[in-house]
A and B are shown apart, each in its own frame.
Chain A
Amino acid sequence: MNDTPSAPPAAGPATAIDAKSLPMPEGIRTVGSVTTADPLFSCRSVDVFYGQKQAIKNLNIDIGRKQVLAMIGPSGCGKSTFLRCLNRMNDTIVGARVEGQIHLDGRDIHDRKQDVVQLRARVGMVFQKPNPFPKSIYENVAYGPRIHGLAGDRAELDDIVSTSLRRAGLWDEVKDRLQQPGTSLSGGQQQRLCIARTIAVNPEVILMDEPCSALDPIATARIEDLIDELRQSYAICIVTHSMQQAARVSQRTAYFHLGELIEVGETDRIFTNPRAKLTEDYITGRFG
């Protein structure tokens, strides 16, 4: 990283720091536009440890509303770890420790008053391997609304289920077999079911951890179309191994390397004109 410019952090062009964007600590080495206007998430000095091992070092980033942020980087660079910080899924891992500030809409998600259950209702997550519950398709989608008390009666619940399945582009394929187990669907359908399940709770952010890595190209294309549509209503953070995918679906891209956020910026700019040497090496395929 000796070739990373040691100049003061280059804030993105014409980015007025919003009141909700937290102040930037000194001496960060990330290149590009770390902050955004009116951010949804604002993360400062985030460190993550698994036991003795530090998985993320001094990470600073803002995440905007209604846009797709793609996180790329070689395996083990900490991008999934960071994603799991955003809805505190790291809480479930024994020995994991998160330090620093992560604010969602101006409130610290590690605040003692913050209920992790409410946080996860606001920040949905789609996993690498489709993991529908071993229950019916209907029950899969209805589960979130049920536990969060989003439906007053059965009709409202039915309504939420069908709307979510429609938005996930799955309705036509499953409307006649809602009572069949979710595990009976194909891999791509299962992943869309998981997305439908997530949006049934009406979150503000959807985190996607390599959602297409277990899928074939056709299913992947459908998910990518879906992500593009969902961008109209949600902020989406997607971890991906495929640079093409990042280029296709995202507006902003963040490049991680060995637990550090090297560069972040407009997707077009990152792929055409990377400023950090490491980013350039990665996207031109010199390693990865």
Chain B
Amino acid sequence: MSSTTDPAAAASGQRTAAETQAIVERSLRRRYRAEKRFQAYGIAAVLAGVLFVVFLFGSIFSQGASVFRQSYLRLQVFYDPAVIDPAGTRLADDLATADYQALVRESLRKRFPDVEGRAALRKLYAVASGAAAVELQQRVAADPTLIGRSERVWVLADDAVDMLLKGETRRDSAEEERRLTDEQVAWIDALAADGSLALRFNRAFFGNGDSRDPEQAGVRGALFGSFLTLLITLLLSFPIGVAAAVYLEEFAPRNRLTDVIEVNINNLAAVPSIVFGLLGLAVFIAYFGLPRSAPLVGGLVLTLLTLPTIIIASRAALKAVPPSIREAAFGMGASRLQTVAHHVLPLAMPGMLTGAIIGMARALGESAPLLMIGMVAFIVDVPKGVLDPSTALPVQVFLWSDLPERGFVERTSGAIIVLLLFLLVMNATAVVLRNRFEKRW
């Protein structure tokens, strides 16, 4: 059809080139419109994705950023010997059981001498957190010579005060809609005016375990729980994962058994994490009698969970080592094991470590299997060993997200920020490791 006067073409009813061109030209506008539309869908999808990211992080950070500062109350405290140690024994036991709340109350009364009546006073006392007395007790325990003296101490304010100071509780809302009365708001304003009530770095959030009071609740216990759990996970899953990958990649004969292992690993990587939790509950706790809520069990379950990830990543790293290195070693008379240990493993190690870090990051964010094995209890103490009951950071997020107090929303977001920071550091390490050591052969 190169010629417009091709009689054969005309005779057989085919179109001439000019006709064809005309048809194409007519269709072009429609086709280009379709093209534009298609591209617009793509851009819309990308924008939607980016928007979700921005929205997710924006929402978390806007709610959680304020957790790093907390309302503290400056009190002029007189360590009254008559209250702390009426018998004058200075025994540690006596000092620990004294009524430090009374000191806080006394201090607040002195600050606002006009307040009278039980109900009013109780409202006044509610400005300070229950943790204030604990703080005073710890100071006395550390330095008993304080008794009989007076000092200025920063103690935690109540979470309702904190919410007011951070603007979470609106002043113009009706009195019955907020937890503070107008009277209390007036006291708070007075305290804030002379600098006795201020937002300071939130020591409690990083120094405390869980608590029922938002202002006292902290992530330390959860952080330690996560740390111990991940430690067990890393110690088990990395060596086992690398060994399994080495076997499958460097030693295994191609037979039914190794095929089964291979398919099995790929499938295991896609099994829902909660099923691993069921396994942990049925095997480690019910069958082997390990304690519930223990980081040891959490670590075991997460080991099984991350193992496929680590094996797959390690195998990829081994595959990336060029065969010429193996040939060189074999040609020198190195045995298979020597070849792997001396040459292949060192070259594959950065890739394997990257895989391990990514696996650990996944394990750190995992909570469903930990719920199954009971790492979801309310635990105030910081765990000291792998058999102590504990929770983990993501589980702490889950626990706090369920609590109604406004202060806990902030805590939850704060714990999420801490969690995300850890994940960020881990993933960044993995990326740096990959970029620095990745060799192109």
Asked if the two chains touch in their complex, CB atoms less than 8 Å apart, one says yes
Chain A: minimal CB distance from B251 (Å): 12
Chain A neighbourhood of B343, CB < 8 A: 133
Knowing A117-B334, A147-B334, the reply to whether A94 touches B254 (Cβ < 8 A) is: yes
Q: Does A131 contact B (CB under 8 A)?
A: yes
**Interface residues as binary, A106-140 with B (CB distance below 8 Å gives 1, 0 otherwise):** 00000000001111110011110101111000000
Given A94-B254, A143-B342, are A198 and B332 neighbors across the interface (CB < 8 Å)?
yes
Q: How far is the CB of B41 from chain A (nearest CB, A)?
A: 47
Assembly CA distance A125 to B324 (angstroms): 12
Query: Contacts of A134 on B, CB cut-off 8 Å?
Result: 325, 347, 439
Q: Are B333 and A127 in contact (CB under 8 A)?
A: no
Contact present for A147 and B325 (CB under 8 Å): no
What total of chain B residues lie within 8 Å of the partner, measured CB to CB?
18
B333 pairs with A118, CB closer than 8 A: yes
B-chain residues with CB within 8 Å of residue A201 when the two chains form the complex: 332-333
Known: A94-B254, A133-B343, A134-B347. A148 touches B329 (CB 8 A): no
Min CB distance A50 to B, Å, is: 14
Would B325 and A124 count as touching, CB distance under 8 A?
Answer: no
The answer to the question of B62 belonging to the interface, with a C-beta cut-off of 8 Å to chain A, is no
Among B324, B330, B338, B342: residue with most chain A CB under 10 A? B330
Q: Is B328 engaged at the interface, CB distance under 8 Å to the other chain?
A: yes
Residue of B nearest to A139 (CB): B342
Interface extent on A, as a size class?
20 to 34
A100 surroundings in chain B (CB, below 8 A) = none
Answer yes or no: B183 CB below 8 A from chain A CBs: no
The DSSP consensus for interface residues of chain A is helix
The smallest beta-carbon distance between B88 and chain A, in angstroms, is: 74
Known pairs A133-B343, A134-B347; A89 contacts B327 (CB<8 A): yes
Interchain CB contact under 8 A, A117 and B328: no
Which residues 294-347 in B have Cβ within 8 Å of A in the complex? 324-335, 338, 342-343, 347
Q: Confirm or deny: A12 has a beta carbon within 8 angstroms of a beta carbon on chain B.
A: no
B254: which A residues are within 8 A, CB to CB? 94
Q: Does A92 contact B (CB under 8 A)?
A: yes
List 6 extra interface pairs beyond A92-B330, A124-B332, A125-B331, CB under 8 A.
Answer: A89-B331, A94-B254, A116-B335, A117-B333, A131-B327, A144-B332
Q: Provide a sorted-by-A list of 20 A–B residue pairs whose CB atoms are within 8 angstroms.
A: A89-B327, A92-B326, A117-B334, A119-B333, A120-B331, A121-B333, A124-B333, A126-B331, A129-B324, A131-B325, A131-B327, A133-B328, A134-B347, A147-B333, A147-B334, A147-B342, A148-B333, A197-B332, A198-B331, A201-B333
Residues of A near any B CB (own CB < 8 A)? 87, 89, 92, 94, 116-121, 124-127, 129, 131-134, 143-144, 147-148, 194, 197-198, 201
